[in-house]
Amino acid sequence: MPDSGRKGKDYGLCENDFLRTSVTLFLDFFMRGIPCCSMGASTGFLAVPWAQARVERVTVAVHGMPCPFCAFGVEKKLKGVKGVGSVTVNLKPGSATLSAREGASINVGQVPGAIKAAGFTQGAIVGTTTGIIKMADSWKLVLSMFRSRQRFILVDMKKEMKNRLETLSKTGAQVKVTGTFQKKGDALLALRPEKVEEVPQ
C-alpha cells in the first residue's frame, strides 16, 4: 500500500517540474498554430507560424557616400544592427540593402542611427516584413511580429488596400508586406504598405 503521507516530490514530479512541463507544452501548442476553439480564438487557431514573422529585408538610401572607403564604413555600421546577416552597399544610386540572418528579424529602428554613426544622411527606408495584421484601438491597423516584438502602424493606404488589410486582420492570416518605413521621433513606428501578399501556410 502506498504511504498516503508521502509528499508529491517523492513520486518523481515536483511542482516546479510540473510547471515547466506545462509551460513547454503550451508554448509548443501555441507556436504550431494548433486549432483551439476552446480557448476563445476567433478564427479557430491560436497562432500562425511565428517562426517566419520578421523584417527580412531592408533597403535604405544613403546620401553623400562618394567613395568605396565610405561604403565600407557604412557596411560596417549596418552589420552592427540587430538581426542583420549581410549588407550590400551600392555607391550608385547610393543605397544599402540589409538581409536578415536566418530565423532573425532586422531591427529597423537601429538603421538611422547606424547611418548617422557612419557619418552620412539616411534617406527612404523600404523593407519587406512578414507578420500578422491586427486592429488596434478599433481603428489602427498594425503589422505585428511575435518573436522580435516589433510592430508597425500601417499608414497612408488607399481605400482598396485598407479594406483588404482589415479583412486580413479578421482572419489571422500571415502576410508579407513591402513598403516604406516612416519615422516618428527617433523610432520607426509606421509603415506605408505598397504590396501585400498572403503567405501560404
C-alpha cell at 1: 500500500
Domain ranges of the chain: 12-36, 53-198
Fold of 53-198: Alpha-Beta Plaits (3.30.70)
CA pair distance 44, 188, nearest whole angstrom: 33
**C-beta separation of 171 from 135 below 8 A:** no
106's CB contacts (< 8 A; 6+ apart) are 54, 55, 56, 57, 58, 81, 82, 83, 84, 98, 100, 127
Radius of gyration over every alpha carbon of the chain, rounded to an integer in angstroms: 22
User: How many whole angstroms separate alpha carbon 169 and alpha carbon 183?
Assistant: 24
| pLDDT at position 34 over 80 | no
Higher pLDDT, 4 or 182: 182
> What proportion of the chain, given as a percentage, has pLDDT over 70?
70
The CA-based angle 155-158-161, given to 5 degrees, is 85
Cα–Cα distances (Å) from 136 to 104, 169, 171, 189, in that order, read 25, 10, 15, 14
Element (H, E) at 31: helix 15-32
Whole-structure pTM value: 0.70
Query: Residue 36 — very low, low, confident or very high, per pLDDT cuts 50/70/90?
Result: very low
Please check whether residue 186 is in contact with residue 174, taking contact to mean a CB–CB distance below 8 angstroms: no
Better-predicted residue by pLDDT, 162 or 145: 162
